[in-house]
Structure 1
């Protein structure tokens, strides 16, 4: 019975294991009668014979037999065996103290528990039991004793490995893995409508592949484009020294809301506050300005006329912002939205900052220093890590889930790195053309599934994050595409900005 295989592919699923996890699922969903019925009809028990033996010993308080049974389990590694014995002896100590058998409790602690765990865990156990004793809290009635023994069984289920016990909610985990694998293999994933009734597949028909609107309001090269966090606005900036705030009316249609005219030099960067009420604008030869989105009025200019800002970013509270300067003596400044300086990183040894970002959770500050170095600063611990690229970095972009960031390189590659934990070997997205231009890429789609980038060959390139080769190459612009932005609330909408003085809005062809 245990070797009988089922399934359309044959040889992959053991019938005994399959039925057993179905029984576990029925129990976890509260269908106890159905679970018992299936156990009876199939002759397969949710609990293994080894675990049923342990369960009997624990519920009846047969601790010597319980310890003996654990020691006889050949499939246990030394560490797992020690963990199982430790939680048994921990409960046994409690019952000894409850009976007033202090001598036996001390013997178990000295002869059995010591050596199973590290010294700190054993010490904490002893202190905890002594504390209960002193407070007179060790007297437990029989009803609570039974409840604590059942809790011990629950702990044992988590410690002991298969097939002695099953991992919690195993069937749901397997189904989630299967659905997740289908999503990962869905090249054009753009819908979260996932059903167990059929294999998941998103059609190219729902992907932004067609130009549905061309915006021509700028009078010179358009260098930056960015949707607001709520997807209701679009901001663009240009070498014509202006920035424009656009209102997103519906998928495929936007209209001009405000022209921002206070800058005296080209505007190369914009940043929406997380609450979308304010917009920052700056340029390589310009100061940093703060605008009210509703009125289009400049609320504040940061720094003096000689303070040149290359990039800027908001903290998630929409009250603090940070900017970096291409002038090494200026460094990085943190301000509040009223213009008060909070902190500065500057000095003669400070390298120039070419790009800067704050992760959406406010945990990390990421800076591009001296073209090839990426500095990741934990703002809570001040711990810093440095990543070095072999080629010059022209821009960076952070994913909304705080896990990854991408950098554009003048070697015609885009690299993706993780932010927290061990650095991964970067994924390399190739195909687009980039040498000296500051071309900016972005994450987009559901859960940042896609990476989009402009290119010097006048095209927009789109990759699925799991693949190195582009899945779409969008044509329409006449000159270099400097920047792209994916609407975070409308995953079927993409915007691109070009040296041809236009912004293109891309949507599925059916729109």
Structure 2
């Protein structure tokens, strides 16, 4: 059975095993609630499960008979946004009732985000653009065309900028400010030719960018520099496909790799 595991990390970097969260199929998406008390996990083409993070207790299972889920995200007002196998987006309440839906878009539902005010949804559009969708009017406000195939993207906490990961094209940094939408910078150095690799913003006021790489390294950039300021290596032995910056400890970073290891990085003790 594919599993999702929760580990507890202390401020000093000590890692302790927490809970195992089970699915029938591989887990594609994990989304923490705004208060970090609950967790959503989405199995590939199957169900979404809502868990209590501290205890690992299963709180609810969201499922449909006519389609499966492939992604999920928490809405800031306590609802759940879900991408489905029939290329739709649906909005659910915590008990599973469908509140709204967006259909007939040429969207890749494996990657979604919603702004903090709940008014705009972002999704990949036909592999090489980001669609910004008005949630209430149910229409695409604009497309952000990219220079290649998009593998993933990451929205900043203040919703002002967007990191877009491209095959063979590095990471592109976009402004989402009204009147200033556009490509700000490109970040080079990491290797991404075959796999989905997720990057993130972090550090003080999200000043830094981190990403994994197919050569087993973790790269860190300052927003104002296209070349990495740091490379973390010699721990992982496979493709580093995901990184996550600690939202409360600006000196702590986690990386996950195809070598089945999670590494916690931080300042020397």
TM-score, structure 1 length as denominator?
A: 0.50
SS at match of 2:183: coil
Segments of structure 2 that go 5 or more residues without pairing to the other structure are: none
Residues 1:437 and 2:195 are matched in the alignment: yes
Q: Which of 305, 309, 312 is equivalent to 2:69?
A: 309
> What is the CA-CA distance between 1:366 and the residue it aligns to?
0.8
TM-score, structure 2 length as denominator?
A: 0.92
2:81 is matched with: 322
1:293-308 pair list within 5 angstroms: 293-304=53-64, 307-308=67-68
Q: Which of 357, 366, 374 is equivalent to 2:122?
A: 366
2:99 is matched with: 342
CA 1:430 to 1:305, structure 2 compared with 1: closer, same or farther past 3 Å? farther
Conservation of the 8 A alpha-carbon contact between 1:354 and 1:371: no
1:201-280 pair list within 5 angstroms: 241-261=2-22, 263-280=23-40
Counterparts of 2:246 and 2:107 in 1: how far apart (Å)?
A: 34
SS at match of 2:182: coil
Conservation of the 8 A alpha-carbon contact between 2:148 and 2:169: no
Conservation of the 8 A alpha-carbon contact between 2:108 and 2:123: no
Counterparts of 1:358 and 1:424 in 2: how far apart (Å)?
A: 19
1:484 is matched with: 243
CA 1:378 to 1:345, structure 2 compared with 1: closer, same or farther past 3 Å? closer
SS at match of 1:443: strand
1:464 is matched with: 222
More strand, by proportion: 2
Conservation of the 8 A alpha-carbon contact between 1:400 and 1:447: no
SS at match of 2:159: coil
Conservation of the 8 A alpha-carbon contact between 1:331 and 1:352: no
> What is the CA-CA distance between 1:412 and the residue it aligns to?
3.6
Conservation of the 8 A alpha-carbon contact between 1:354 and 1:370: no
1:453 is matched with: 211
1:411-430 pair list within 5 angstroms: 411-422=168-179, 423-430=181-188
Larger Rg: 1
2:259 is matched with: 500
1:281 is matched with: 41
> What is the CA-CA distance between 1:370 and the residue it aligns to?
2.5
SS at match of 1:447: helix
2:232 is matched with: 474
Indicate the RMSD between aligned Cα atoms, in angstroms.
1.9
Conservation of the 8 A alpha-carbon contact between 1:316 and 1:362: yes
How big is each residue's C-alpha offset from its partner over 1:46-80, in whole Å with a ceiling of 9 and x where there is no partner? Answer: xxxxxxxxxxxxxxxxxxxxxxxxxxxxxxxxxxx
1:19-98 pair list within 5 angstroms: none
> What is the CA-CA distance between 1:316 and the residue it aligns to?
1.4
Counterparts of 1:243 and 1:415 in 2: how far apart (Å)?
A: 30
Count of aligned positions: 266
1:378-417 pair list within 5 angstroms: 378-379=134-135, 384-417=141-174
CA 1:308 to 1:391, structure 2 compared with 1: closer, same or farther past 3 Å? farther
Conservation of the 8 A alpha-carbon contact between 1:353 and 1:370: no
SS at match of 2:10: strand
1:352 is matched with: 108
Conservation of the 8 A alpha-carbon contact between 1:441 and 1:483: yes
Counterparts of 2:18 and 2:35 in 1: how far apart (Å)?
A: 18
> What is the CA-CA distance between 1:381 and the residue it aligns to?
5.9
More helix, by proportion: 1
> What is the CA-CA distance between 1:416 and the residue it aligns to?
1.2
Conservation of the 8 A alpha-carbon contact between 1:480 and 1:500: yes
SS at match of 1:425: strand
CA 1:497 to 1:334, structure 2 compared with 1: closer, same or farther past 3 Å? same
Question: Relative contact order: is structure 1 or structure 2 higher (C-alpha 8 Å, sep ≥ 6)?
Answer: 1
Counterparts of 2:70 and 2:169 in 1: how far apart (Å)?
A: 22
How big is each residue's C-alpha offset from its partner over 1:323-374, in whole Å with a ceiling of 9 and x where there is no partner? Answer: 223x3x3411111111111111124x64432310112333321111222121
Between stretches 456-465 and 416-425, larger displacement belongs to: 416-425
Segments of structure 1 that go 5 or more residues without pairing to the other structure are: 1-239
CA 1:369 to 1:497, structure 2 compared with 1: closer, same or farther past 3 Å? same
Counterparts of 1:294 and 1:432 in 2: how far apart (Å)?
A: 35
Between stretches 277-286 and 428-437, larger displacement belongs to: 277-286
